Every structure is written in C-alpha cells, then in structure tokens.
Amino acid sequence: SQQGEEDPQALSIQEGENATMNCSYKTSINNLQWYRQNSGRGLVHLILIRSNEREKHSGRLRVTLDTSKKSSSLLITASRAADTASYFCATGAAGNKLTFGGGTRVLVKP
Amino acid sequence: KAGVTQTPRYLIKTRGQQVTLSCSPISGHRSVSWYQQTPGQGLQFLFEYFSETQRNKGNFPGRFSGRQFSNSRSEMNVSTLELGDSALYLCASSFTYRGPVSTDTQYFGPGTRLTVL
C-alpha cells in the first residue's frame, strides 16, 4: 500500500510557468524525499527534507513540509520542457525503506 | 563516480519460470534496496540489504527473494513467475543503514523491465 497521495495526478503548464504539486502521508516520518522519473526510467533524487525542517530550496525547486498536516509540496519555478516527467514523494520512517506516493505527471509545453 | 547499474535492462520470461536480476551499487555504498513499479500498484518496496543481511522486507510473497554479496552487489530472484510480476524492478543504493534513526538518500538505477508472458 502507498503511504502518500499526490495531488494533482497530472499537470499541464506552459514553459516558464511554475508547477506546484502536493503530497500527503499518513504515518510519522524521519524525512521526505522527492524524486523525478522520465518515461519509465530510473528515479532521480531531487531533494530531501527532514522532519524538523519546514522549507528547503535547491536551484529552481522549493519543498515545504508540514508535519502537523502530514503534507509536503514541491514547487518548480520557471519550468522548462526538460522538466516534463513524473514526480514522486517518498517518505522514510525506518531504515532505507521508502514509501512512495502515486506520483504527479507534469507536462511542460514549449 | 559511476551510478547504480542494473542488469539485464530488459527481460522476457514465461509463466512458471524463474528470473534473477542483478544490481551493482554506487562505489562505497553498502545498502541496496529493491522496488517494484507497476501501473496499478505504483512503486512498492521489496527488501533492503546491508552488510549481506536483509534489514527490511516489504509485503511480497516468498517467491521474491534477494541476497547481497560481500562487495555490496545484490541480486533478486523471482521464482514461479506470474503474469502480475511484469513490472519495472528498480534497485537503489545508499551509503549506509541507520536503523530507525534516519533514512538515507536513495540513488536509483535505470531498472530492469520484466515482461512475463
């Protein structure tokens, strides 16, 4: 079973616009990670936010975490065609086991 | 530094057969985890190995097994294949295993796409 639910399931935007996706989870975590997947290939790690952090930035990515609401959001600013991919949140609770959400498919139109 | 490698990349098997997939982690990484990705169930954790010992196991039947060698390379085996085992199998490596304290960043390989006919 999946820990998280991602919203929206799909997103279509124009190049240069911002893309925001949300992730909710159910149980206590020690961190939350975001990954990108292009066309059924391997997952690329984007960012890790620890349970005691509220916000983290990496380049054009901004991640927030609200442990009281058990939710996180990923913002991609000034999107590019190359950002077209599926984005997954994954929670870590014990060991290196990650529990993934269902993913958000993002299409960036040139 | 080379990334996680998985072999083979594609595999076609028939029901009832068995299959072995291989994963070589990033140099220096000692933890290897396996995941199954299907359109219906999404990404699901299979198991994790660290120092040749299984540290964590997902909710899969006993037909799914794995092992890790002293050089941290890992294999997973699926016996008596079923149609529902068709999936992308992803291997991920991380530097270490921290128990319940923390979850390391996982670095994923390109996956092995298994098709069961």
Q: Which residues of B touch A43 (CB under 8 A)?
A: 90, 92, 106, 108
User: To 5 degrees, how large is the angle CA B77–CA B40–CA A85?
Assistant: 95
Q: What are phi and psi of B93, to 5 degrees?
A: -120, 150
Q: Give the pairing of strands B31-38 and B42-50.
A: antiparallel
Distance (Å) from the C-alpha of residue B80 to the closest C-alpha of chain A? 23
Predicted confidence band at A1 (pLDDT cuts at 50, 70, 90)?
very low
Nearest Cα residue in chain B from A92: B103
Q: Are B97 and B57 in contact (CB under 8 A)?
A: no
The two tokens of residue B95 are 């530097």
Q: Are A7 and A101 in contact (CB under 8 A)?
A: no
Q: Give the pairing of strands A104-109 and A85-92.
A: antiparallel
The two tokens of residue A79 are 């999107």
pLDDT at A40: 72
Which of the two residues, B100 and A54, has the higher pLDDT score?
A54
pLDDT at A35: 96
Which residues of chain B fall below pLDDT 50?
Answer: none
The two tokens of residue A10 are 């799909």
Q: What is the Cα Rg of chain B in Å? A: 14
Predicted confidence band at A2 (pLDDT cuts at 50, 70, 90)?
very low
pLDDT at B9: 96
For an interface test with B, which of A29, A41, A96, A97 has the most B Cβ atoms less than 10 Å from its Cβ? Answer: A96
User: To 5 degrees, how large is the angle CA A69–CA A75–CA A37?
Assistant: 100
Contact (CB<8Å) A40/B97? no
pLDDT at B33: 96
